Structure 1
Amino acid sequence: MALIQPDPTFYPSARDAMRAPREELAYVALLDAAGQGRPDGLATIDLSDGSIVSVGDMPNVGDELHHFGWNVCSAALCPYAPHPHVERRYLVLPGLRSSRIYVFDVKDDPRRPRLVKTIEPETVFEKTGYSRPHTVHCGTDAIYVSALGNVDGDAPGGVFTLDHDTFEPKGRWEVDRGPQELHYDFWWHLGHDTMITSEWGTPNQIEAGPSLDLLVGRKYGHKLHVWDLTKRRHLQEIDLGDQHQMALELRPAHDPSKTHGFVNTVISVEDLSAVGCSTTSGQSGA
């Protein structure tokens, strides 16, 4: 009987990934920035010369594609939740404005991804209670998707999950969200069973563009939230200071044995600077 082996493109550390064969293709989201009624697209780039190999348009207009990701990745190597049967072959593209999610298969022809599933916004609303999917991360037990708000475009925002195999929404991730209301990005430290989330604003606060009144009123996000990844419960709130408006991207240390990570904030209302902060998993400090 053949043994089930993990996908060979999974690596236990960033160092191992950098030693691996170089990627030959890259996939890039294309937006209708001019608002001319053209669908967003997915471009395939040949990394040997930077040429555009193919462009596939979405079947709908007005999606505003955002931070898309793979169906599964090195997180599947987690000892407590191994999934050796899955392979990195599907791209999951969220539409921030439409709340629609597309799934593209790249296995048969990596140079021309093929649309195989569309999750309509009504399904996302019904099964998760969230809207405006923003970022996709492949996790240990599911595909994790951040959402900026609820169905009405207000708080709370949070995280929902998709099934690794069927891509059907499984539901809201949080069991106990504690004081968390605003949401933006998320990342985890699997070795410490910890998730960190950041804050921006609700869809109703941001979709018309940044509001000067909200900015000077210090109403955008400025906190980090620490979670028990397995129990899905809020553990700790880290306030970066309300002068640091819009705490956005989170990035972990490349060394998986380290417990620190990084977050950037868009602007300080005191001196109009932007800053980056370093924080340690599970400890209050920035």
Structure 2
Amino acid sequence: MLNTLRPDPTFHPSARLAMEAPAELIAYTVLLSPDRSRPDALAVVDVDPQSAAYGTVIHRLVMPHSGDEFHHFGWNACSSVLSPLSGHAFLQRRYLVIPGIRSSRIYIVDTQPDPRAPVLVKTIEPDELLRKTGYSRPHTVHCGPEGIYISTLGGAGPDGTQGPPGVFVMDCENFEILGRWEIERGPQKLHYDFWWNLPRDYMVSSEWGLPPQFESGIVAEDLLAGKYGHAVHFWNLRERRHVQTIDLGANHQMALEVRPAHDPAREYGFLGVVVDTANLEGSIWTWYRENGRFRIRKSATIPAESADAGRLPALLKGFGAVPPLVTDIDLSLDDRFLYVACWGTGELRQYDVTDPMKPTLAGSVRVGGIARRTAHPNGRTVGGGPQMTEISRDGRRVYFTNSLYSSWDDQFYPDGVPGVQLMCKVGAGGGIELDPAFCVDFGPHYRAHQIRLQGGDCSTDSFCYPSA
């Protein structure tokens, strides 16, 4: 009983204090069946280097339905609960909220009493989500001071195009869907990722595309016509009101992951853009607030790499090059290193962003890739490339998987993307190298997407107090 009357020890007031927490011993990774012949699953991976089971799957929770397409997921509660605005002082980081991006179904998984063997405790069917919000295709999950926020990629109707997608809120104790978050949407019509600065009271959101633009694969005509998302939106968090849009230009297609500085005293953050249709490069952008207005600047670019057409999928043969395809970015808790997953070229880049306006390349590893097909240090051939990335709280380990989205995997990697999870070790002053002993194989029937670490990680928690 006493345990329910004190804050969860995995909640930390500041990012700097979170870095001092004990290292993670297990990781949770969502698995998807690319042909939808099997139900998707949640894998529990042993990441304790002292364990005999290090780098292996120690448990697999298989869901009751097929066709969900697990993508992103998150916790019911995190360090944001320590906000002065929170009405839930004694929540625990206990439940995983796992949406099906294709089915619009949401699963609630309990990681207690045994974190190594979580169990399914609730299923929210898509008709409930649609009835209460008008949204479909749930995507990013973030825990806020007063509830669980989930972004969506679709509106109503069979193809998700009847009305714009947005964000909805779920009760963090009984998991009832409360309704849409937005009160004044403004010009926002597309959605993807979102995050916030809680004390500064703003949210930023990004854009991918509507379901017909991604569910059956990338639509080349829409890409070249600039019809995928290419803007970022800023919101008044408390008032739930859109305040500003910045268009990056239609050539900057698919503005995806947003990563604000973890220290809330720092009013800046990073955005990854998949591809520039003018030259196939990927890019990193830095947003900041100046004199009450948000601004954004392209702060780093990653060029395409020339390649023999014989090594390219049909989609790229005419270009004779491989775009980096920046599909994920992640920021270490000390706001020092930004990791950039170049899924097309098979590269994971580490940038020193001590000066957020001038990212400096500090490290790089290669594995997979459309043309290079670089083997892992243990000799294994890896399909796909670095994709969903997660950093340990202390910043010394970077985990990643290799699948983007089932239909896109098939277009860019027609030879297949068998599910794996890999890990890089980070040097004390920067630099990264792949751990040859860590290569999790999820088997031939599953692909792997997002990772969550026991006790929290660098894309989970929102911190309410500045670091000392």
User: Is 1:130 the counterpart of 2:131 in the alignment?
Assistant: no
**Percentage of identical aligned residues:** 53
Higher relative contact order by CA 8 Å / sep ≥ 6: 1 or 2? 2
Among candidates 201, 216, 229, match of residue 209 of structure 2? 201
Q: Is the 8 A contact 1:89 1:106 kept in 2?
A: yes
Q: How does 1:112-261 map to 2 (within 5 A)?
A: 112-152=117-157, 153-154=160-161, 155-261=163-269
> How far 1:15 moved relative to its partner?
1.9
Q: Is the 8 A contact 2:105 2:124 kept in 1?
A: yes
User: Is 1:16 the counterpart of 2:24 in the alignment?
Assistant: no
Which amino acid is the alignment partner of residue 28 of structure 1?
Answer: T
What is the TM-score when the length of structure 1 is the normalising length? 0.96
Partner SS state of residue 60, structure 1: strand
Could you list the structure 1 runs, at least 4 aligned residues long, displaced by more than 3 angstroms after superposition: 1-4
CA distance in 2, matches of 1:71, 1:230: 20
User: Is 1:75 the counterpart of 2:68 in the alignment?
Assistant: no
1:5-35, CA deviations, whole angstroms, 9 ceiling, x for partnerless residues? Answer: 32111012222111111111110001112x1
Partner SS state of residue 182, structure 2: coil
Q: What residue in structure 2 maps to residue 31 of structure 1?
A: 32
Partner SS state of residue 59, structure 1: strand
> How far 1:78 moved relative to its partner?
1.1
Partner SS state of residue 19, structure 2: helix
> How far 1:284 moved relative to its partner?
2.3
1:140-183, CA deviations, whole angstroms, 9 ceiling, x for partnerless residues? Answer: 11100010010221141110011011101110100000000000
CA distance in 2, matches of 1:68, 1:54: 18
Answer with 1 or 2: which has the greater Rg: 2
Q: Is the 8 A contact 1:15 1:254 kept in 2?
A: no
1:218-248, CA deviations, whole angstroms, 9 ceiling, x for partnerless residues? Answer: 0110101000101100000011111100000
Which amino acid is the alignment partner of residue 193 of structure 2?
Answer: D
CA distance in 2, matches of 1:119, 1:284: 38
1:111-163, CA deviations, whole angstroms, 9 ceiling, x for partnerless residues? Answer: 01110000000000001110000111111111000100102211411100110
Moved more, 261-270 or 4-13: 4-13
> How far 1:205 moved relative to its partner?
1.8
- Gaps of at least 5 residues in structure 2 are 49-53, 298-468
Which amino acid is the alignment partner of residue 105 of structure 2?
Answer: R
1:50-81, CA deviations, whole angstroms, 9 ceiling, x for partnerless residues? Answer: 22110111100010011110000011111122
CA distance in 1, matches of 2:107, 2:219: 30
- Gaps of at least 5 residues in structure 1 are none
Q: Is the 8 A contact 1:6 1:83 kept in 2?
A: no
Partner SS state of residue 207, structure 1: coil
